[in-house]
Structure 1
Amino acid sequence: MGPNMLILASAAVLLLCGAANAARILALVPVASRSHHIWNSALTVGLAKKGHQIWALSPDNLEDNIYPNLTQMVIKGTYEKLREDFTMESFVEDSPFTFLKTMWAFGINVCRYESSTQAVKDLLKMPRDFFDLIITEVVFGECMFMFLHHFGGGTRIPVVGITAFGMGPWTDVLTGARTLPSVFAFPILPYVSKMSFTERLQNTLLTGYHWNNMIREYYPEQQKIAEEAYGEPLPPLIDLASNISVILVNNHYVLNGPQAQLPGIIDVGAMQCSPAQRLPKDISSFLNEAKIGAIYFSLGSNLMSELLPKDKLEVIVATFASLGPGIRVLWKFDPKVPIGHLPSNVLLKKWLPQEDVLGHPKTLAFVSHAGLLSTQEAIYHGVPIVAVPFFADQHTNARRLVELGVAVHVDFLTLTKESFKEKILNVTINPRYAENMRKMSNLLRDQPETPLDRAIFWVEFALRQGNDGMKALRSAGFDLAWYQYFLIDVLAAVLIAIVSPLLLIYVTMKTVMNKLRGNSKSKKKKL
């Protein structure tokens, strides 16, 4: 039996073994981010291995799909459309408020395009009672909540939310929780949990601004897109999303710090992480032959090194050349794109198996944009970071990594060869960075089960318990206005109860004193 036949036979055995408890699951994963696809795929593939029948609606295609019970409904053309509308490399210059507006435009543009594609139209043609459970991303694909209505999510069948973005106000809207601006830094701000008064003020203003625009502008626009695609009026998308009782979030205290959470918000941070595998021969040889060690440089799946400004690329190349032949650099960069003279210690690859590179014993440091998924993988494999954040949570992650002593921060806008080289060498030579990162890695790995096993448990929990069982996880806070949740109305009543008697006493005493003064003046006049 050939290797391909063996793989197919193994998949068939897995399918048959799980057939008795197999469910038909729809995974709505429309967010246009290849790194998020890796995270989402960890769950869909894990469920397929358990024997469940999976239909995944996504702009990404799992190229090595060997599971006959994992059907991919590919939304074509999303990334091409995004590149027409957005240049992510330029986001580094945006203020937090400007970046928020850009992200809302991103979510609306993606939904407007994807909702009109053939894959979405094909899914709408499927029988309404076809699926047993729906998994849905909860941010930047809100128009797809129309499928919760279409297939009876939250009424006929349970719904499980997922988000690779981690914790944030987007989970609050759906669960009734409220992240406190006093201790929870909005993910696009470069703050951590302990904020100064000025930082708390800015954090509160930005959080309120986000809440207001989500409710008043963003969701209504998504509603219009969904109804146009669906062809008839829909219940409010927020009401549909309120049927999500469990949300699997890409969060772990080792990086994000401890947070107060509802029982229906499940941490499955680093769900995509796994032990390193053998590297392709050319990459393995390049790393193994490094006398001192190697640097891995990648800006993730959305940012592209090839599109960085020419002057910055010249600085980066000159810095790598100045490291000398003993330190080699593996750079995720399309070799077909001209870059000028390339130093002999640098190898370019359009795509790299990131976890396998980070897990290689010669890898000394990771020059990274500090995106959440890349950061988790660096922690998992114990590799310190040279953080070059551009936007969103990258600034927050970078600041926390620096405070934890596992990274140095590089400002891309003021990048110079001297400063960049100094910080790379600092991380690679000073042993405290690697030692601190090893401690973080131990904390991340020290769990009673893997994050993926935990995620699968909660999906199957929802299948077993159904909608009635899932209602036990619904927070009473969902039905409270923000001022009720934060007891503003109660505090106002208490304040009135305290102030009113004092005010009454003050007015009474003032009246009495005025009367006494009036009587005194009258007596003086008579005299």
Structure 2
Amino acid sequence: YNEISIRGSTPLYTNNFTLEAVEELSYSDALKMIGGAVGADVCDHVFKTNELIQLKNSKKKYDVVVTELFSTECMLGWAWHFKAHSVVITSSENLPWATDRFGLPDNPSYIPTYFVDYTSKMTLYERLVNTWTLIKGKLLYELYSTKDSNVIAKRFFGPDLPDLNVLAYNTTLHLINTHFSISNSRPLLPNTVEVAGLHVRSPKPVDKHFNQILETDTKGVIYFSMGSLFLPETFPKQILQAMFDALSEVPYKVLWKANHTNFSPELRIPANVHFETWMPQHDILCDDRVKLFISHGGMMGTQESVSCGKPILGMPIFADQTLNIKRAESSGYGKMLNLQTVTKENFANALRELLFDPKYAENVKKVSALFKDRILNPLDTSVYWIEYVIRHNGAPHLQSSAKDLAWYQYYLVDVIAIALTIPAILSYIAYVISKIFLTKIIKKSKIKTN
């Protein structure tokens, strides 16, 4: 294969987010960031690289183009350029703007939207919020991402490039990083395939360095990581100190992903906490000595924790993280704390409950068995369906006719209108006829009386 690296062409967000940078983001601000800074702006940067310009001018041929469906559609231009089938993969929960192109049902009465923290059983108020969030997500994605991405993509691929919404409509296959065992059970189409855990491999024994770190004379190890974006060193000092004080009281060693030199020297860090700037997360989580995962609730880490059968203490910060931890709570293998209101007491209580109540370990093992009980593993499933699309020339028979319907046809607004109009017309006709007859009867009655 031919590997092309465009590393350095866009800003890196890894280990570059502070809590303050996202805590005040509204829903609209979040969509603007997704569609702009990590969407259309990325297209603008990468399409200016010599590597992609050379690729566009090359004579290479491809059967299929696999690209991400998250913040922009501009990369679908490659499928049009190479006259190849397009396959998209979403690394998160399905998105509000990802369903219409396939005709995939996204009924907000029981399917929580990516940006809410509801379960599938919602109150009336939650269904109202969920519906508005779904509609707003579709509209703002068009405004903040697709509009600018269209201009950028046409500038790069040429004016003959079809509208990106047309290319999205012609997408062949969608691979989604979800699974019904840890997400909501929802209707899917044949060309919409769940592949949660695509990044999860068989765990390997940790190397000598981490093996020594995991060795402990305590009851076990707590693994603490807030993911690859957020810097826990930048959290408010009172929150960090509350965590340190609570962790000092549990008979466990704590392995924390952070740079200890960046913590304030005013903090009292207990002796049972060990810091590393990078760790093989999945291998560590699957180690029998690890008993609990403290996390921000990111999708990848949550899936790894479930795969390894470890309970989660989640402190979500952004996007789908609250939804992920809420699901862990509702399934009985996790607890959620609001990072902004963490105290020594509530953090210690959550730790004790997860570590000493056996139901959490039992529940996560049950969910782990469901998560891994599949005909094929996620990687082989993805390979099979991509090759299926190639073998069957795009597999148009997988497409749903629902995507060809206008919104009023899809939701039967026209049928309902007719169903309501006909009885109304008949009722009106009956009313008019009755009025005429009654008028005549009254007139005759008056004549006889006179």
TM-score normalised by length of structure 1: 0.79
Q: Which residue of 483, 494, 505 corresponds with 2:419?
A: 494
Tell me the equivalent position of 2:283: 356
Against the structure 1 CA distance between its residues 321 and 109, is the aligned structure 2 distance closer, same or farther, given a 3 Å change threshold? farther
Tell me the equivalent position of 2:403: 478
Alignment of 1:176-215 (within 5 A): 176-215=103-142
Q: Which residue of 352, 357, 363 corresponds with 1:425?
A: 352
Where in structure 2 are there 5+ consecutive unaligned residues?
Answer: none
Q: Which residue of 275, 278, 301 corresponds with 2:205?
A: 278
Give 1:298 shift: 0.9
Against the structure 1 CA distance between its residues 72 and 315, is the aligned structure 2 distance closer, same or farther, given a 3 Å change threshold? farther
Give 1:313 shift: 2.5
Give 1:318 shift: 2.6
- In the alignment, the residues of structure 1 paired with residue 24 and residue 403 of structure 2 have an alpha-carbon distance, to the nearest angstrom, of 36
- In the alignment, the residues of structure 1 paired with residue 284 and residue 106 of structure 2 have an alpha-carbon distance, to the nearest angstrom, of 36
Moved more, 496-505 or 256-265: 496-505
- In the alignment, the residues of structure 1 paired with residue 364 and residue 205 of structure 2 have an alpha-carbon distance, to the nearest angstrom, of 23
Could you tell me which amino acid in structure 1 is paired with residue 11 of structure 2?
A: Y
Tell me the equivalent position of 1:118: 50
Secondary structure at the counterpart of residue 329 of structure 1: strand
Where in structure 1 are there 5+ consecutive unaligned residues?
Answer: 1-52, 56-70
Do the aligned partners of 1:89 and 1:390 also contact (CA within 8 Å) in 2?
Answer: no
Q: Which residue of 305, 309, 323 corresponds with 1:382?
A: 309
Q: Which residue of 33, 41, 60 corresponds with 1:109?
A: 41
2:148 aligned with 1:230: no
Alignment of 1:254-333 (within 5 A): 254-323=181-250, 326-333=251-258
Do the aligned partners of 1:181 and 1:204 also contact (CA within 8 Å) in 2?
Answer: yes
- In the alignment, the residues of structure 1 paired with residue 47 and residue 183 of structure 2 have an alpha-carbon distance, to the nearest angstrom, of 33
- In the alignment, the residues of structure 2 paired with residue 219 and residue 511 of structure 1 have an alpha-carbon distance, to the nearest angstrom, of 59
Tell me the equivalent position of 1:143: 74
Alignment of 1:4-43 (within 5 A): none
Tell me the equivalent position of 1:65: none
Could you tell me which amino acid in structure 1 is paired with residue 346 of structure 2?
A: S
Against the structure 1 CA distance between its residues 504 and 92, is the aligned structure 2 distance closer, same or farther, given a 3 Å change threshold? farther
- In the alignment, the residues of structure 2 paired with residue 151 and residue 498 of structure 1 have an alpha-carbon distance, to the nearest angstrom, of 54
Give 1:403 shift: 0.8
Tell me the equivalent position of 2:431: 506
Give 1:435 shift: 0.3
Tell me the equivalent position of 1:5: none
Tell me the equivalent position of 1:25: none
Q: Which residue of 51, 57, 63 corresponds with 1:132?
A: 63
Percentage identity across paired residues of the two chains: 30
Tell me the equivalent position of 1:342: 269
TM-score normalised by length of structure 2: 0.92
- In the alignment, the residues of structure 2 paired with residue 368 and residue 82 of structure 1 have an alpha-carbon distance, to the nearest angstrom, of 16
Tell me the equivalent position of 2:374: 447
Could you tell me which amino acid in structure 2 is paired with residue 497 of structure 1?
A: I
Higher relative contact order (CA 8 A, sep 6+): 2
Give 1:256 shift: 0.8
- In the alignment, the residues of structure 2 paired with residue 93 and residue 277 of structure 1 have an alpha-carbon distance, to the nearest angstrom, of 40
Against the structure 1 CA distance between its residues 119 and 293, is the aligned structure 2 distance closer, same or farther, given a 3 Å change threshold? same
Against the structure 1 CA distance between its residues 113 and 344, is the aligned structure 2 distance closer, same or farther, given a 3 Å change threshold? same
